[in-house]
Amino acid sequence: MKNESLAVPFHIVLVCPEIPPNTGNIGRLCVATGAPLHLVDPLGFDISDPQVKRAGLDYWQHLSLVRHKNLEQYLTDTPSEVPQVLLTKKAEQSLYDHQFEAGTHLVFGNETSGLPEGFMAEKGRVRLRIPMVDDRVRSLNLSTAVGIVLYEAIRQLNSGKQDQAG
């Protein structure tokens, strides 16, 4: 049974992911929330890898999956008016200080090097971070980070709908 209150107008974009189980878990999260998953090549694994399928369980067949041969193709394929939010530990602004809007692409880099510096530096791109209390933690697991950001964005939109209804 589909829960219409969780219909999500967000897209998850993974730029050159490297770890199959992370991508599988994120695929499952995308199915659960209705968010299309964009994979930007090159991937650090074969998409048919059993670890991807194991982590995605039997949900992978229901995933709205879009492949892009590289970052340039993703940018060409994505209309310029589509909001993009880049998630990076190098950002100064917390995701909790940002107002998410419908149609946003939530863009994540790979597990070892993150997003390319040049891509992040381009003018007009919103860069956000997930706040962490202890500076000894360099980063979070990619699938954990995607879940945190996606559900915060969903919470904000659903909260706005409730405010408008009341």
What distance in Å separates the CA atoms of residue 106 and residue 83, rounded to the nearest whole number?
A: 9
Give 55's pLDDT tier (boundaries 50, 70, 90).
Answer: low
20 to 41, 45, 46, 81, 84: CA distances (angstroms): 13, 6, 8, 31, 24
Q: Which pTM does this prediction carry?
A: 0.89
Angle, CA 55 vertex, CA 44 and CA 20 arms, to 5° = 5
CATH number of the domain at 140, please. Answer: 3.40.1280.10
pLDDT in tens, 149-163: 999 999 999 886 655
Higher pLDDT, 35 or 1: 35
Question: What is the SS3 assignment for 2-42?
Answer: CCHHHCCCCEEEEECCCCHHHHHHHHHHHHHHCCCEEEECC
Residue range 84-94: average pLDDT?
95
Q: What is the mean pLDDT of the chain?
A: 88
Residue range 32-55: average pLDDT?
86
Q: Is the pLDDT of residue 56 over 70?
A: no
Q: Domains in the chain: how many in total?
A: 1
Give 164's pLDDT tier (boundaries 50, 70, 90).
Answer: low
Boundaries of domain holding 43: 4-165
